[in-house]
Structure 1
Amino acid sequence: MQRLILTLLLSLLLAACASTRMPTPLVQLPTLQLAPSALPQPVQLQQRLQFRFGSHQRELDALLEVDAEQVRLAVQAMGQTGVRMVWDGQHLEQTRAPWLPPQVRGERVLDDLQFALWPAAAIRAALPAGWTLQETDGVRSLAQDGTPWLVRDTLPDGRVRLRNLAEGYELVIESMDMGQGQE
């Protein structure tokens, strides 16, 4: 009887773990891999990130620095660094914590970051055929054949919301400028 209960509990646990996996994306978003120098001015931001996927929600903290040479990003959860990334325009180096889920891909994080912050002209130049970038009334959307798959807008309180409709997640970003002497 104990074996049966143990087997049943293990089966339920495995089923629960399997159900929290991210499904296959509806469409493969293009990679941007934009040069750090394509951002017109250096950026130093401390960010609070609210990540939502289905019924799961997490709050993360991030430190972002961008200059003409590199993009540097560190993301923390509960005081522990989950990932550190450095992008020089050619190579992405990342250091990941063992507890970070494999679905959190540095390449996707970099693409989301560049979609949110880089100039529209730089993004358009990197898009493959069939993809378009539109900006209307503060809303930026990346679309394939007229269907938006990645949307960035600004909420009334000034936070930025990024909705990845292809992979089914939403990210709300609150930023604090850490730059010295910047307006």
Structure 2
Amino acid sequence: MHSPLIARRSLAALLLALSLTGCSVLRRESEEAGKPAQPPQKKRPAGAKKRPAKPDGKTEALPHAPVDDGALAPVFRPSIADAPKLTLDQQIRIRFHEKALRSGAPKSVTVLRALVVSDPGLLRAAFTAMGMNVWAITWNQKGVEESRSPRLPAEVKADRFIRDFAFAFWPAESVKKSIPSELDLIVTNRGDAEIRALIRNQAPILRAVITRTLITIMNAPEGYTLDIEAAR
């Protein structure tokens, strides 16, 4: 797989930034907890599609309805032991498609700045938006832990970030082992780009176009496009 062009920082500096960001998010959430409760959220409009159930029987908490006949892209997680050795400083842009907007997705999501460090057995990511710490994720052999600001849109979820990030950065063989058996992973090369497509019923439901300067991930069922590029 082609390695994205990244603005590298020293591993020690990034780890320090990740640690400080996680603490800042937790502190902000503690302050938010002391504020008066917010008004209850609006009920789902009449006629809206029922949210699909998770494998454990719990309702999938996706704020907007899926745009592909109620079928979400599966949430899978390759082995953390297969994590590549990366030190990244990135900008992440999320754009919801027209059908998702009509289903209740936000019209815009603030660009996220992400500091990501991964190594076999560990992924740590810290996110800022408009200069504020909003999210921190740690994934290791014990599982996934996150701390998040109430300001972060509910559509932005740790399990989906990990799925999308691993789909693009993990070795293809590791991704293939982690997907449900009814899906196929097709990897092709077109010029300088590597293209990964997760196929269900002969249609791509998750597609990543990977170049040295930009990674674009398209999720048809959930109606969004994710752009990952080096921070400027």
Q: Is the structural similarity TM-score above 0.5?
A: yes
TM tier relative to shorter chain: 0.7 to 0.9
Structure 1 runs not aligned, ≥5 long: 1-13, 15-20, 177-183
User: Counterpart of 1:49 in structure 2: which amino acid?
Assistant: I
Q: Which has the higher contact order (CA 8 A, sep 6+)?
A: 2
1:14-163 correspondence runs (5 A)? 22-24=64-66, 26=68, 27-39=71-83, 41-54=84-97, 55-137=107-189, 138-154=194-210, 158-163=213-218
Measure the CA separation in 1 of the matches of 2:182 and 2:120.
30
Measure the CA separation in 2 of the matches of 1:123 and 1:89.
17
**Residues 1:174 and 2:216 aligned together:** no
1:170, CA displacement in angstroms?
A: 0.7
Aligned-residue CA RMSD in angstroms? 2.1
User: Counterpart of 2:155 in structure 1: which amino acid?
Assistant: Q
Deviating 4+ runs (over 6 angstroms): none
Question: What is the DSSP-based 3-state SS (H/G/I as helix, E as strand, rest coil) of the residue aligned with 1:128?
Answer: coil
More strand per residue: 1
CA contact (8 A) 1:35 1:88 kept: no
Aligned to 1:6: none
Which protein has the larger Cα radius of gyration, Structure 1 or Structure 2?
A: 1
TM score, norm. by length of structure 1: 0.77
How many residues matched?
A: 156
Measure the CA separation in 1 of the matches of 2:154 and 2:177.
30
CA contact (8 A) 2:93 2:226 kept: yes
